[in-house]
Copies of this chain bind each other. A is one copy, B any other.
Amino acid sequence: MATISKENYLKTIFNYKTNSGVNATTAKVAQDLSVSNAAISEMAKKLSDEGLISYKKYKGMELTTNGEKIALKVIRRHRLWELFLVKALGIGWNEVHSEAERLEHHTSEFLIDKIDEYLGFPDFDPHGHPIPKKNGTIPKTPKVILLSEAEKNNVYEFVRVDDRDSELINYLIRIEFLLNTELTVVDKLSFDNSVTISFNKKSLSMSKELTKSIYVKAVKN
């Protein structure tokens, strides 16, 4: 049975692989879930016994088909809730992640499908992450890079942002740098790795840290 904890472990293992390209290790999952390494080892054994991950001691873990199915359902619920809270209740896109983090575990398939329908079966959540479909497929995502890797004088579109830092997104709201905004990389400073961009006729310098949370896609001219 997939308890709340197990759902979170599976989701985390899935996201880790998606974001990094490599299998999740004990330490990484522990860090993500803010629990001890020991807790991961114990749970890894259980998830493995239940056929939800394949796990060899000391060698990291990987979702099985069944594990991935559950992970995708949790992520689907999470992202649909986020978009729903924004669209139906006008809640800020910086505030919905933490709500969704809890609601994702307490939503029947019946209810999430109603929400999906209400939203017109959307492909992306408010932070630009793809919403897994009811059938388990994932909408095609554009090829993105971090703003920190963007090249000077090139034009990009802001298409995704890490959704866990409410303060960060709150800053984006304040400077009116919203998803789907077009931007040009005006300058890159080597001594602090800050990036100066222009968008909506404004110019703005972004710190190294900030540019590592912002994903953009190249715009062909």
Contact = CB atoms under 8 A, between A and B. Distances in A.
A102 interface: yes
A1 interface: no
Interface string A119-147: 00000000000000000000000000000
Interface stretch (A60-68, A105-113, A185-193, A213-221): A105-113
A102 to B, nearest CB: 4
A91 B111 contact: yes
A118 B102 contact: no
Contact of A91 (B88, B91, B106, B114): B114
B103 A106 contact: yes
A114 B84 CA distance: 13
A89 interface: yes
Contact of A89 (B91, B98, B106, B115): B115
Contacts of A167: none
Contacts of A95: 110
Grouping DSSP codes into helix (H, G, I), strand (E, B) and loop, the A interface class, with mixed when no group exceeds half, is helix
B111 A85 contact: yes
A99 interface: yes
20 contacts: A85-B111, A88-B88, A88-B118, A89-B114, A89-B115, A89-B118, A90-B114, A91-B111, A91-B114, A98-B108, A99-B107, A99-B108, A99-B110, A99-B111, A102-B106, A103-B103, A103-B106, A103-B107, A105-B106, A106-B106
Contacts of A106: 102-103, 105-106
A4 to B, nearest CB: 10
A118 B88 CA distance: 9
Given A89-B114, A103-B103, 17 more contacts: A88-B88, A88-B118, A89-B111, A89-B115, A89-B118, A90-B114, A91-B111, A91-B114, A95-B110, A99-B107, A99-B108, A99-B110, A99-B111, A102-B106, A102-B107, A105-B106, A106-B106
A114 B88 CA distance: 10
A91 B99 CA distance: 21
Nearest to A85: B111
